Amino acid sequence: MLIRVNDNWRISTDEVQWILQRRRKAKKDTSAERWDSVGYFGSLALLFDIMTRRRIFAIDGEYPPEALELLANALTEIRLDVQRALSRAQESGGPAFRGRGEDRAPAESAPTGREAA
């Protein structure tokens, strides 16, 4: 199964777990894509929690208390990204809803163990 959440994040699976992957460009050839696995999860709910935290923690800077609105907006954006990705996959009958096997893209980076912080 492979679900592209947005341009930089996707969710794949193997036989027993959900895998959160982040896109990065290859250093030598900027046109080549590479997907790094950043976490392995037994539940989709835990994967969404970690993906949310990673994106929230990536917001850099020092903000006044009113900046909580920024965090709320980021959470809303993440939820919408996931909902749109699932809707697209369901509407197209894509690999996310056809099952596992040949439709699944191969992992492009070696597993590194549990979710990296």
pTM of the full structure: 0.56
State how far the Cα of 22 lies from the Cα of 86, in Å rounded to an integer: 17
Give pLDDT, residue 32: 73
Q: Tens digits of per-residue pLDDT, 56-101? A: 788 787 878 777 887 788 888 888 887 787 777 777 765 444 443 3
State how far the Cα of 30 lies from the Cα of 76, in Å rounded to an integer: 31
Q: Tens digits of per-residue pLDDT, 7-49? A: 888 999 999 999 999 998 777 766 677 899 999 999 888 888 8
**Strand order across the 33-41 sheet:** 2-4, 9-13, 18-25, 33-41
SS3 per residue for 9-26: EEEEECCCCEEEEEEEEC
Give pLDDT, residue 43: 86
